[in-house]
Amino acid sequence: MSNVEIADSPAVRRLADWDHAQLRELAEEYGTPLYVTDLDRVGANYRRFAAAFPDAHVMYAAKAHTGQSVLRALLAAGADIECAAWGELQRAIDAGADPNTLQYTAVNPPAHDLDYAVDLASDAPGLTITIGATDTLDRLAERGYDGRIAIRINPGIGTGHHEKVATGNDAKFGIPYEQVPEVADRVRDEFDLVGLHSHAGSGVLTDDLPDHCRAIERVGEMARRVGGLEFVDIGGGFGVPYREDEPPLDLEQTARMVRDAVGDIDAQLTLEPGRYIVADAGLILTRVNTIKPTPTATVVGVDASLATLIRPAMFGSYHPVRNVTAPDREPIPATVGGPVCTSADVFTTDRPIARPERRDILAIGNAGSYGYELASQFHSQPRPAEVALESGDERVVRRRETLDDVTRVEQ
């Protein structure tokens, strides 16, 4: 990637940077709520990240957004794919990924997942299975698997934007640190040990880097103890600024700190960004349907809900909200919520927004990662459509569900 390309790809895209006229047109043509994904931005984010780590192997963590259009855009940009479930493996292959390049990071994998992965590996011996429990090794051996294994380490240090994503000190994830050498010996006896893996947490910004790098240091130390590895995978977790006043992650500083933390290893450094690649490439368009002044708040009702975007309800996450119909109106403190019957169905509380009126279009930003992936059909709400933007064109990449889609599996 040239310096010109890097300069043309700013480190963060704010809601104000989107073409508001285009967003209004998309809402009118395709209806709301509507997911919008800018594939050009997806590719630019990947290339910027890869340029900061020129000697590393950069894989995309599919769980952030498994849409076919996103996966194809990243494969075209040169990314490999890391998958956390059998469905993600299949979707990556459907998008054109070579199964030999895939990495399957299993967390308490169901029997069907292991069956699928082992069957896939029989024709694609380059597939790597990452294990986080010796029990998974037993189950793989029972299935006759003796191929490529990476061991997921629990470094005992968690980082990130919320305790629910600080996986590095959660017993659910990875082999306890001091047990890794013993497990490595067993893997070498029965399988093909190719790497170590760790993931300390998600949403890491500059202030989180020291803790994040302490976890990475432990991974580097273990890599030197175990030795003879093809790669050392330190996961992803690199964040984007959701709040308007938060600065973006300094990738050059991050890359220096990561390299120093890993230290001297005789193996390929691997990273798995997900959120960093797709978060600011996506947003949600939602239409205002209700304005309700009350003694305590002006409640702005919209047609999106926690079924559309659950992160505020699940994590207390902040997402920027902007009135793209009339961004220059005088702002008022607004509480924006959807039609779901719970107090958790709120996107903002008393936040200054250009005074909304009924039928205005609001944009909810940074919805490209863990947005549609966590969407549901709660209240029998069909999931929204998704429109992709690429090279000046637009196309529907996910049609809007109907009630028939919601009820089709019932008997």
Query: Would you name the residues annotated as active-site residues?
Result: 341
For the beta carbon of residue 258, count every other beta carbon within 10 angstroms: 21
Alpha-carbon gap, residue 322 to 325, rounded angstroms: 9
Question: Which CB contacts under 8 angstroms, 24+ apart, belong to 396-404?
Answer: 396/30, 397/37, 397/67, 397/68, 397/69, 398/35, 398/67, 398/372, 400/30, 400/31, 401/377
Do 101 and 126 meet the contact criterion of CB atoms below 8 Å apart?
A: yes
Do 323 and 286 meet the contact criterion of CB atoms below 8 Å apart?
A: no
Radius of gyration of the CA atoms of the chain, in A: 22
Helix boundaries (H) for 53-145? 68-77, 86-94, 111-123, 134-142
Strand partners, 149: 129, 193
Written as six digits, the tokens of 48 are: 């910027």
Do 109 and 83 meet the contact criterion of CB atoms below 8 Å apart?
A: no
**Angle at which helices 251-262 and 39-52 pack, to 10 degrees?**
50
Alpha-carbon gap, residue 112 to 139, rounded angstroms: 12
